[in-house]
Chains A and B, each alone.
Chain A
Amino acid sequence: MYKKLRPMDLFLRGLIWLSAGVTILMTVGILAYILVRGVPSISWSFLTTAPSELTGTIGILPNIINTLYIVLITLLISTPIGIGAAIYLTEYGGKSKFVKIIEFTTETLAGIPSIIYGLFGFMFFVVFMGLQYSILAGGLTLSIMVLPTIIRTTQEALKSVNPLYREAALGIGATRVHMIRTVLLPSAMPGIITAIILSIGRIVGESAALIFTAGIGVKMLKLTPAGVFEHLETSGATLTVQLYQYAMRGEDLGVSFAIAAVLVIIVLLINFATKRLARRFRCG
């Protein structure tokens, strides 16, 4: 009846606590280190100007804009295609060999190093299609890169929707398309949003695939109706690409850390915003 010491239990529990502790410490440690080293170098002009050879100042506004551009373009292209493909695979494809092959290839694509997407994007979009180093070429390349993530995550979300809903909708006379639009997609929305969050993370963090496709330009966006679109054709470095360059030169690590801090903050903000959005969709 008295408490007995179970050494194996104690040992395993210790290991579990240790793993959890190490994980939390690493995350918090890295975040804190980046913020502590980076935040002091962030100033208003750093965030709101372009780098200038004349005055010798450094600003990352073009990089922030380029990052947002590439996130937007990539999602605009890959989300509809990815969700459409996932709907086909789960709702129409059945269990055919074709579906199996697509699932296998998307899984393979998800594991390919991003530099390979970069090389492909360079050969295909930059050279063959003549897009040159441009934000558009970068966005197109990244669209291919995140497509597998979106397809697989959306597929899982669709599969986890209660099958009773489908039956109910079809049983009352809904066509399959109507059922997908009104019941399936809304129920799967939290999962789809997760897919988008994961993709944004990959886009924002990408450098290898972008250096060869979007290039390293730091031109400012022209705030005219035409300029907004012309910006797509210009070469543009995202924050991560810019960070990579400063870090490679190794002269001024302060700038690198400042960019890193901005990146971390942007990623946190995006995650927070999408989670809020996902909560709004969740019903029931």
Chain B
Amino acid sequence: MENIMETKSLHLYYGDNQALKNINLQMRKNKITALIGPSGCGKSTYLKTLNRMNDLIEHVKIEGQVLLEGQDIYDPKVDVTMLRKRVGMVFQKPNPFPMSIYDNVAYGPRIHGIKKRSQLDELVETSLRGAALWDEVKDRLKKSAMGLSGGQQQRLCIARALAVSPQVLLMDEPTSALDPISTMKIEDLMVELKEKYTVAIVTHNMQQAARISDYTAFFLVGEMVEYADTEKMFSMPSDKRTEDYITGRFG
């Protein structure tokens, strides 16, 4: 099994406060990895180290290595723009730009220098199809994205992330702000997406992790307690704390 991203003894500090302790995780290519754990356990923080979104926060210190296809993404020579092209992100709340649907999807490709209209048109269509949104919006691409429903907005954000053809897609609780039907659509979509992409998803919803992921990592107060095959994790966890959490004894 091929690993696309690998984290080696990663420590992360917010000032004096250690938020991640010695994380070692190998993310399998074309699989969905779910990160679960109670609030404040560091799972979102960990996700954000994978495309350096933590760089934006002041007083963050990171030790250890995060490798993308063997290359350390915290190497000072790494171009963050290129990194984020390869490792895309979808956030908790849908956050389309206050622009047209078309311009939202074309935003990323334009950053990376694609200007030709025909090329952009094609990218917008394939990305929207990839996010299972094309049929709903193909007649109103020039309309503002703010007119879409919450679930559509989130799929638009996925399309926007797909438009730069990332290798890895990070999703930070992508359905927590959505209704059950939109959630179901996005879950189906994620399963389709793993054909082409590797997906890492942070979720509070254990059923969601069990339904869609291939691997699950359980985080607790900054540590990764257990990382295993999702089926194994939910049927016979090896750590007592994992068992307590997934059986709902705390969290």
Binding site for B on A (CB under 8 A): 94, 162, 164-165, 167-175, 178, 182-183, 186-187, 283-284
Return chain B residues, CB-CB under 8 Å to A183. 97
The reply to whether A168 and B111 contact each other, CB–CB distance below 8 Å, is no
Q: What CA separation (Å) do A186 and B98 show in the bound complex?
A: 9
Return chain A residues, CB-CB under 8 Å to B112. 173
Smallest Cβ-Cβ distance to B112: which chain A residue: A173
Return chain A residues, CB-CB under 8 Å to B160. 168, 172
Binding site for A on B (CB under 8 A): 51, 53, 56, 58, 80-85, 88-89, 91, 93, 95-99, 107-108, 111-112, 144-146, 157, 160-161, 164
Return chain B residues, CB-CB under 8 Å to A169. 97, 107
The reply to whether A167 and B95 contact each other, CB–CB distance below 8 Å, is yes
Q: What CA separation (Å) do A173 and B107 show in the bound complex?
A: 10
Q: What CA separation (Å) do A156 and B135 show in the bound complex?
A: 39
Nearest Cβ distance between residue B22 and chain A, in whole angstroms?
A: 26
The reply to whether B88 and A171 contact each other, CB–CB distance below 8 Å, is yes
Return chain B residues, CB-CB under 8 Å to A174. 81, 107, 111
Nearest Cβ distance between residue A117 and chain B, in whole angstroms?
A: 37
Given contacts A94-B58, A173-B112, A284-B146, contact A168 B82 (CB under 8 A): no
The reply to whether A168 and B95 contact each other, CB–CB distance below 8 Å, is yes
Q: What CA separation (Å) do A169 and B161 show in the bound complex?
A: 10
Return chain B residues, CB-CB under 8 Å to A178. 111
The reply to whether B111 and A173 contact each other, CB–CB distance below 8 Å, is yes
Can you give 28 contacting A-B residue pairs, CB < 8 Å? A94-B58, A164-B93, A165-B95, A165-B97, A165-B98, A169-B97, A171-B51, A171-B91, A172-B107, A172-B108, A172-B164, A173-B80, A173-B81, A173-B83, A173-B85, A173-B111, A173-B164, A174-B81, A174-B107, A174-B111, A182-B107, A183-B97, A186-B98, A186-B99, A187-B98, A283-B98, A284-B99, A284-B146
The reply to whether A167 and B111 contact each other, CB–CB distance below 8 Å, is no
Nearest Cβ distance between residue B37 and chain A, in whole angstroms?
A: 22
Return chain A residues, CB-CB under 8 Å to B144. 283-284
Given contacts A167-B91, A284-B146, contact A173 B97 (CB under 8 A): no
The reply to whether A284 and B84 contact each other, CB–CB distance below 8 Å, is no
Q: What CA separation (Å) do A172 and B111 show in the bound complex?
A: 9
Return chain B residues, CB-CB under 8 Å to A173. 80-85, 108, 111-112, 164
Return chain A residues, CB-CB under 8 Å to B97. 165, 168-169, 183
Given contacts A173-B84, A175-B81, A284-B146, contact A168 B91 (CB under 8 A): yes
Q: What CA separation (Å) do A187 and B98 show in the bound complex?
A: 7
Given contacts A172-B161, A173-B111, contact A164 B146 (CB under 8 A): no
Smallest Cβ-Cβ distance to A161: which chain B residue: B98
